[in-house]
Amino acid sequence: MNFSKMHGLSNDFVIIENITQNVHLDSEKIQVLSNRYTGIGFDQLLFVEKSFQSGIDFNYRIFNADGKEVEQCGNGARCFAHFLYLKGFTKNKKILVSTKKGILVLSILKNKLIKVNMGKPDFKPCNIPILTKKFKKKYSLLIKEKKIYFGAVSMGNPHCVISVKNINTTLVNSLSPLIQKNKFFPNSVNVGFMEIINSKKIKLRVYERGSKETKSCGSGACAAVAIGIKQNLLLDRVTVELIGGKLEIFWKKEDGYIYMVGPAEHVYDGVIHL
**Going residue by residue through the chain (274 aa), what tens digit of pLDDT does each one get?**
999 999 999 999 999 999 999 999 999 999 999 999 999 999 999 999 999 999 999 999 999 999 999 988 999 999 999 999 999 999 999 999 999 888 999 999 998 899 999 999 999 999 999 999 999 999 999 998 899 999 999 999 999 999 999 999 999 999 999 999 999 999 999 999 999 999 999 999 999 998 899 999 999 999 999 999 999 999 999 999 999 999 999 998 888 999 999 999 999 999 999 8
Q: Using CA atoms, how far apart are residues 144 and 219, in angstroms rounded to an integer? A: 27
Report the Cα–Cα distance between both ends of the chain, in Å, rounded: 7
CATH architecture type of domain 125-261:
Roll (3.10)
Give ranges for CATH 3.10.310.10 in the chain: 2-118+263-269, 125-261
Is 89 in contact with 236 (CB distance < 8 Å)? no
Rounded distance between C-alpha atoms, residue 185 and residue 160, angstroms: 9
Helix (H) or strand (E) holding 113: strand 113-117
The architecture of the domain spanning 2-118+263-269 is Roll (3.10)
Catalytic positions, please? 73, 217
Contact 118, 259 (CB under 8 A): yes
CA distance 122 to 210: 22
What pTM value is reported for the model?
Answer: 0.92
**Residues paired with 238 in a beta bridge:** 249
User: In terms of C-beta density within 10 A (0-12 exposed, 13-18 middle, 19 or more buried), how is residue 108 classed?
Assistant: buried
**157 and 219 Cβ atoms separated by less than 8 Å:** yes
Run of H or E including 221? helix 218-230
- Candidates 146, 78, 145; CA nearest to 118 is 78
d(CA 179, CA 231): 21
